[in-house]
Structure formats: structure tokens, C-alpha cells
A and B are shown apart, each in its own frame.
Chain A
Amino acid sequence: MRKIKSVSDLERWKENIFSREKQDEVIISVCGGTGCHAYGCKKVRDEFAKIIRKNGDVKEIRLRYTGCRGFCERGPIVTIQPQGIFYQRVQEKDVPLILSETVEKGKILEHLLYEDAITKRKVTSEKEIPFYKAQHRLVLGNNGQIEPTKIEDYIGIGGYQALSKALFEMKPEQIIDEIRASGLRGRGGAGFLTGKKWEDCRKAPGELKYIICNCDEGDPGAYMDRSLLEGNPHSVLEGMMIGAYAISGSHGYIYVRHEYPLACKNAETAITQARKAGFLGKNILGSGFDFDVEIAKGGGAFVCGESTALIASIEGRVGEPRSKQVHTVTRGLWGKPTNLNNVETWANVPLIINKGSQWFSSMGTEKSKGTKIFSLVGKVKNTGLVEVPMGITLKEIIFDIGGGQQDGKRIKAVQTGGPSGGCIPASLFDLPVDFDSLTQVGSMMGSGGMIVMDEGTCMVDVAKYFVHFLQEESCGKCLPCREGLKRMGEILDRITEGKGNEEDLSLLEELAEVVADTSLCGLGKTAPNPVLSALRYFRPEFEAHIHQKRCPAAVCTPLIKYSISESDCTGCGACAKICPTQAIKGEKKQNHFILAEICSKCGSCIDVCKANAVMVQ
């Protein structure tokens, strides 16, 4: 790789990449996101590589191992260009057929196509699939176009053009004005205006300033930051470079969760490539601007998503937050002015610089501009990452894109904002999704987790889950969070064990209020949200646990009982064979029954029963 020393060098490089692309070239893209990995995409890719190598150059074929395509539930995903064919659930054994039939003869393999759940029609291209149709994939879309470990691919789709524009056509103040005019707000959760943050950091006194990219993504159920950093690391780097130039920061860190090994690796590769190409280091593109980035790994602590705790962690200390009387833009990393933004926020920056603030602010609602990536997961048919314009309704996301309920159970709520957010009931699904409207109903947007819940989800159990999660993740520095959450957890434990009483709910609400009002950092201040929103919208479920000692969703183990329906049981014996405690008795071809006293309520019998005869009450 030659060092790029000027704008004309960059242009030449881009033209060179274009000229190498062949007209009738076939591009086979295998999704290499972590979800597809779990389904064996590496074997699929290796098989393609093996056969293509063996066959020689019969046809020009380029094999691409891309980042996450979002539709993880349907993985491994393979697309074939230029026809734009979308194959899903591809296995190693399908590879020879794809090459001999689709690539050679142009024949579509019906069994690998996506089938529309409603019309039962087989769909050939990505654009026709309902999951993708309503999306607006500005930030995430390029994941499927490039190989994350190849800087040439990123240059080929116009990468680093925004950096070049920022360095040579704009003054730092102009960049900040442009970002502010775009209305971009922090995608990490708080929704603070990015332009305002940059301006504050630029104005903060001090020569040395730091830039941080937050990829701690501790919010359980959200994984868009991982997919972005894994799938398109250069876009995040480019955003950071532009930010650094605007703020006059000289050094940057990408703070990545240790649980994301592939994101760490791809970001590391991207940094090395960017350094070699001259996008990082001294005198970037001959502009006189110096900037460099390194990776800091997290150690698995949710609280480190909070800016001051994250900074403590980069400094090599225990990740405890501090009081924010002085903001991190004035005094952050090693006491220097520090600008911290989330992965998705950084990835939006090059788009805004390239296309302008007006283009960006034409999308979204009055106070929430642009698009947002959500991880649509839980009890919904189509799970994966979706990018939609702000202001779209929850109904559109869950039913049009997500395809609605998963296994016959009615959807009753969606949890947004992770442990800091809350549950929104189905009656409010017409709500437009933006920063402010979600806060109004007692939840928040957070980093974009959307966990769909159906009748089989117990809202008391979910509230208990979040309180225990936060209790465990509380750093323990301040008392209200450390002790308050512990007590709230104990109350919820009691309720789910059928030992709750009438006063528990008012005590729970009182404790929640104190924890929210008196905790030091965002973790504690927002910790009661999941409980309060569950109480607000699903109080009857709490009351059923307390008064009738019943769990309506049949989840809370001490309150449920397994039995076998006499009319449905075929006597096949599969359940008795699988039962780990030998609690199921019955003669072959006769009705089986469960001995309640030794049943461990593991649910294995449900999984094996073909007649759906096992009942939980």
C-alpha cells in the first residue's frame, strides 16, 4: 500500500480501484457477522473459496466475506451480484449447486430463497423482503458492500472522501456548525446534541484533547455497535478523524468490550491500514493535521458505558463513575478535555459531511434527525438489526419489518432502552420512535435494543431480571444504587416466589423513587425505570403473583406446574426418555403423567413432545 499524501493521491487510488473492477464480474458475498458465524458461515465461505480455486478462472468471480447484514435470524446469508440474488440459511452442501446452477447458468435455487410469511411467495432480491423493504440503511447498508478488513473496498465506495473534504474545504468551526445544523444526537442513549458537545470540547481550555469512541455496548439485547465496528470499522475511524480535526484532538481511543473479539480484531486491522495509508499519523493527507487512534479493551463491566467510568477504565483503574459537576468535555481522560461519542454517532459523521446537514435533517422528526439502528430481538418472527428513519412507529418496526408474533403467542410489549429503559405495552405501538416520545411513556431509546415480549413473557420476571442485572453491575460506590437495588431485588424475588404481600408494591415504588433521585451516575438514576414502567402498564400481573399466587405467563418456576394433557398424549414416551429427573411415568402407547414432586420444571419434555401435550399452568 502506498502512502496517500494528498487529495489527488486519494482520487487516483479510488480511480485505480474502479478501473480494476470488471464489467461482468460476479460478486458472491458471504455474511461474516457473528450471528452467521454461529450458523456456520465460515464453512460456507471456505467451501466457495475451495471450489472457485479448483475451477480456475472459468468466470470472473469475486468472493467477499462481509460484515453483518442484519437479518441474523436467516443466516448464513449469501448474496450474488450483479443479479442481486439473496440466499438465506445457506449450508456448506449448497455451495457447489450455487456455483454450478446460479453462477454458471443463472438459475435460481428456490429452496434457498426467503419465503414471505403472508403471501408464501418466494422472494429473490433483498429489496423485496419485508424485513429490508421498510428500512433505510444509510449507516448499516455498506456492511454488505465491503469486506471490513480491506481498506480498498472502503475507498471504492467513497471512503475517506468526507475526511478529505473536511480537511481541505472546511474550517473546524464550519464542521461543528454542519454537525449542529444536522441535528445529530448521541446514539449511545442520552441523545445529547453532538454538535454542541463538540463545540464545548473545542472551546475547553487546553492544548491536548482526546477523542473516544464508546463501543462498550453493555446494554443486553443490543448489538448494532458491534456490527458496525466489525462490519465497517473505517467508517467509524473516519468519523473520529473528522471529529478530532474539528475539536483539535490529537489522540483517540476506541473502547471495545472484551466480549467482542472480532470487533477488536477488525478495528485493530483498520487502524493499522489507516496508518499505512496515511489517514492516521502525522500530517494527514498533507494537511498538517496529526491524529492517531488506539484500542482500549474493556473488562466486562456494564457501568463502563458511563463516560467517567469508561475513562477510569482506559486509565487502568476500577471503572467507578465520578460526579459530573465538571463535564468530561472540560476534564476527561487524564484530566484533559475529552470528547466521547458512541460508535453509531461516529459512523453518521462522514455521511453528514459528504451529503450535508440539510440532507440529514430532512429525515426524522422535529427533534430527532436521521436514522437509528435498532436490534429487533426477542419474541418476534424476523430478528436482526434494522435501520429506520426516526419517527417510524413501533407497530411498523415490530409488525411490518419484524413480521409480528413468533410462535402463536400475542405480542404484549416491547422493551426499549435496556436496563435504563422500560416496557412499552402493545396499546402504545402507534407511538413514533424518537428520543423524546419514548421518554414520555416512561422508557427511553437507549442505544437501540428492542426486545419484543409476548404472552409467554412474565413482566414481573423481566422487572426482576433487570433489577438483578443492575444490582450485579452496580459499581458499589454510592449507597442508594448499591443497597436500594439489592432491596428492590429481594422484594421482586419474594413476589415471584409467591411470597409477596400487598405492601410490597408501594415499598417497591418508594424505593425506586429514592434510588432514581439520589444515585450518583446514570446507572442508578435510571435503574428503577424497568420496574416503574412494568408497574405502570402491567400492574395486574404483579397482583396475580401476590394475591392469587399465579404467574399468568407461566414463567416463575415456584408458581407453575407441568402436566400432560390426557387427550393429546400419544404415549410415544419421548418425554419420559428425555426427563432428567425421571419424573414422567407411563406405559408405551398409554397416557403419560408427571410426578410433580420430582419434576425439576426444566421444560425438556415440551421441547420433545410432538403432540404438544405438555401443559404449563
Chain B
Amino acid sequence: MDFEQVGKIIDKYQEKRTGLISILHDIQDRYHFLPEEALRKVASRLKMDLNDIYGVATFYKSFSLIPKGKHSITLCLGTACHVRGGPKILREMKKQLNIEPGQTTADKQFSLNVVNCLGVCAIGPVMFVDGKFYGEMNPLKARRIIEKINKNKRKNGVKS
């Protein structure tokens, strides 16, 4: 893994300690998780204890210390999505992918996340898959999204 970008990200925030959360966000955007090597680099440049950085990285839900899968599935379980059947979709996703929220499938294809609100409450239950919002979900529709991704993958696999 190339960590040259980490230095550039830290430069962007002028090595300021107050930029820590933004720095971690930028690192995660670039590498899709927070690699240990990158955190060590942040600690040394910001003159902070690695402990403190680990504390921040594990306190906030947006950060992940383990690599994410190729496809990111985020399920909203905010109140509005909850009363409209969000938990049923979670059960279905757990079964389909055979993982718990926060985990990635063994083949590194899917990551499942649960969030407390995506702010699209009017059309709940909402799922956010690979950067796209899907509203008025039910277990069936959710399952079809996974099936579609798998199907596309197989199709592309044959081509190549």
C-alpha cells in the first residue's frame, strides 16, 4: 500500500491537531479504512500519542480499522425506518451476506453497515448502496439489489 497520500492529506490541514477528524476522514476516503501505518504517520506528524488517535478512530462510528469490501451496503435504522420495517431488512441482509453489521464478507465483496439516520426519513426504510440511495425498501427489494450486484459481477467475469 502506498502511503504517500497520507503525507499530502496531513499537509492539507497544516499538521493541525484540530484537523485530526478531517484528516482521518480523508484517509478513509482514500483507502476505504484507516490502515495502521497511516495512523502511525498521522501520530508522528501531529506530534500526538498513537493512543489518542486510536481513541478518536474508535470513538466515531464513521471510521473503520478493518478494510471494507468492494460494495458498501449501508442500512438506515433511524426511527422512521425502524417503524416502517427496517429491522426485517437487516435480518434479511445478515442472512444473505452471512455477516454482522460492521463486518466484511470473506471474499471482500460486501461490507454491511448500520447507521442511525441518513436523513432521508420520508421515504424509509432507506438503504445506501455504493453511493446510491434506495427508498421504500423491503426484504425482497434488498435481496434483489444483492442478487443484481452478484449477477453483474458474474457477467463481467465471463467477459474478461
A residues adjacent to B (C-beta < 8 A)? 34-35, 37-39, 72-73, 75, 217-223, 226, 257-260, 296-302, 313-319, 375-379, 383-385, 415, 418, 449, 451, 453, 457, 462, 465-466, 469, 473, 475, 578, 580, 600, 602-604, 607-608
Kindly identify which residue among B95, B119, B123, B135 contacts A580, using a CB–CB cutoff of 8 Å: B95
A219 and B126 within 8 A (CB): no
- Do residues A318 and B59 form an inter-chain contact, with CB atoms below 8 A? yes
Contact A296 B22 (CB under 8 A): yes
* Least Cβ–Cβ distance between B21 and chain A, in angstroms: 5
Given A415-B79, A607-B140, is A299 in contact with B119 using a C-beta cutoff of 8 Å? no
Does B18 contact A384, Cβ atoms closer than 8 Å? Answer: no
Look across to chain B and name the residue whose beta carbon is closest to the beta carbon of A223: B119
Determine how close the nearest CB of chain A comes to the CB of B116; give it in whole angstroms.
Answer: 5
Chain A residue contacts of B139, Cβ below 8 A: 602-604, 607
A38 close to B134 (CB less than 8 A):
yes
Contacting pair A259 B117 (CB below 8 A): yes
B88 with A220: CB separation less than 8 A: no
A34 to B140, CA, bound (A): 23
- How many chain B residues touch A (Cβ–Cβ < 8 Å)? 48
Chain B interfacial positions (CB closer than 8 Å to A)? 16-22, 24-25, 52, 55-56, 59-63, 77-80, 82-85, 88, 91-92, 95, 115-124, 126, 132-135, 138-140, 143
Instruction: Knowing A296-B22, A299-B25, A383-B121, say if A319 contacts B83 (CB, 8 Å).
Output: no
Chain B residues lying within 8 Å of A580, measured Cβ to Cβ, are: 92, 95, 143
CB-CB under 8 A from B126, the residues of chain A are: 38
User: With the chains together, A259 CA to B95 CA distance in Å?
Assistant: 26
**In the complex, which residues of chain A have a beta carbon less than 8 angstroms from the beta carbon of B92?**
580, 602, 604
Residues of B within 8 A of A259 (CB): 62, 115, 117-119
Once A73-B123, A260-B119 are accepted as A-B contacts, the answer to whether A319 and B59 lie under 8 Å apart by CB is: yes
Report whether B60 and A299 are in contact in the complex, using a CB–CB cutoff of 8 Å.
yes
In the complex, which of the residues B61, B121, B124, B132 contacts A299, with contact meaning CB atoms closer than 8 Å?
B61
List A contacts of B56 (CB < 8 A): 299, 316-318
**Considering the chains assembled together, what is the distance between the CA atoms of A72 and B16 in angstroms?**
40
Given contacts A220-B80, A377-B121, A604-B143, 10 further A-B contacts (CB under 8 A): A38-B132, A220-B79, A221-B80, A223-B121, A226-B119, A259-B62, A317-B52, A375-B80, A385-B122, A415-B79
| Docked complex Cα distance between A473 and B115 (Å) | 11
Are the C-beta atoms of B79 and A418 separated by less than 8 Å?
A: yes
Given A34-B133, A297-B25, A383:B123 Cβ within 8 A = yes
Closest B residue to A226 using CB positions: B119
Asked if B79 and A300 sit within 8 Å, CB to CB, the answer is no
Asked whether A39 and B135 contact (CB < 8 A) given A299-B63, A314-B18, A379-B83, the answer is yes
- Bound: A254/B115 CA distance, A: 22
Closest to B133 in A: A38
Chain B contact surface mostly: helix
Known A-B contacts A37-B133, A38-B135, A299-B60; A316 and B122 likewise in contact (beta carbons under 8 Å): no
- Minimum CB distance partner of B79 in chain A: A221
What residues of A have a CB within 8 angstroms of the CB of B120 in the complex? Answer: 34-35, 38, 72, 223
Give the residues in chain A near B80, CB-CB below 8 Å: 220-221, 375, 377-378, 383, 449, 451
Known A-B contacts A378-B79, A602-B92; A221 and B121 likewise in contact (beta carbons under 8 Å) = yes
- Complex: chain A residue closest to B96, CB-CB: A580
Interchain nearest-CB distance for B121 vs A (Å): 4
Specify which chain B residues have a CB less than 8 angstroms from the CB of A37 in the assembled complex. 133
Let me know if A219 and B117 touch, CB within 8 A.
Answer: yes
Most buried by B among A259, A298, A376, A475: A259
- Which residue in chain B gives the minimum CB-CB distance to A301? B60
15 contacts between A and B (CB under 8 A): A35-B135, A73-B123, A217-B119, A219-B117, A221-B78, A298-B21, A299-B24, A300-B115, A314-B18, A316-B21, A375-B121, A378-B79, A379-B83, A604-B139, A607-B139
Closest 7 CB pairs of A and B: A299-B60, A220-B78, A72-B122, A38-B133, A316-B20, A300-B61, A223-B119
Residues of chain A contacted by B140 (CB below 8 angstroms): 578, 604, 607-608
Assembled-state Cα–Cα distance A383/B122 (Å): 5
Chain B, residue nearest A313 (CB): B21
Residues of B within 8 A of A378 (CB): 79-80, 83-84
Taking CB atoms, residues of chain A closer than 8 Å to B63 are 299
Q: How far is the CA of A88 from the CA of B83 in the complex (A)?
A: 25
Nearest to A383 among chain B residues (CB) is B122
Contacts of A314 in B (CB 8 A): 18
A378-B79, A451-B83, A607-B140 given; A220·B25 CB < 8 A:
no
Contact call B18/A607, Cβ cutoff below 8 A: no
* B17 to chain A: closest residue by CB: A316
Judge whether A34 and B21 touch: CB under 8 Å: no
Q: Are A296 and B123 in contact (CB under 8 A)?
A: no
Residues of the A chain whose Cβ atoms lie less than 8 Å from the Cβ of B20: 316
Distance A217 CA – B22 CA, assembled complex (angstroms): 18
Identity of the chain A residue whose Cβ is nearest the Cβ of B21 in the assembled complex: A299
Give chain A residues whose Cβ lies under 8 Å from the Cβ of B91. 600, 602
How far, in angstroms, from A35 to B136 measured CA to CA in the complex?
11
Task: Looking at the assembled complex, report how far the CB atom of B114 sits from the nearest CB atom of chain A, in whole angstroms.
Answer: 10
A314 to B20, CA, bound (A): 9
B143 to chain A, nearest CB (A): 7
Q: Give the residue name and chain of the A residue nearest to B18 (CB).
A: A316
Once the chains bind, are A73 and B95 in contact (CB under 8 Å)? no
Other-chain contact of B85, A258, A299, A375, A603 (Cβ < 8 Å):
A603
* Residues of chain B contacted by A72 (CB below 8 angstroms): 120, 122-123
Cβ contact within 8 Å between A297 and B122: no
Shortest Cβ gap from A377 to chain B (Å): 4
B139 to chain A, nearest CB (A): 5
A384's nearest neighbour on chain B, judged by CB, is B122
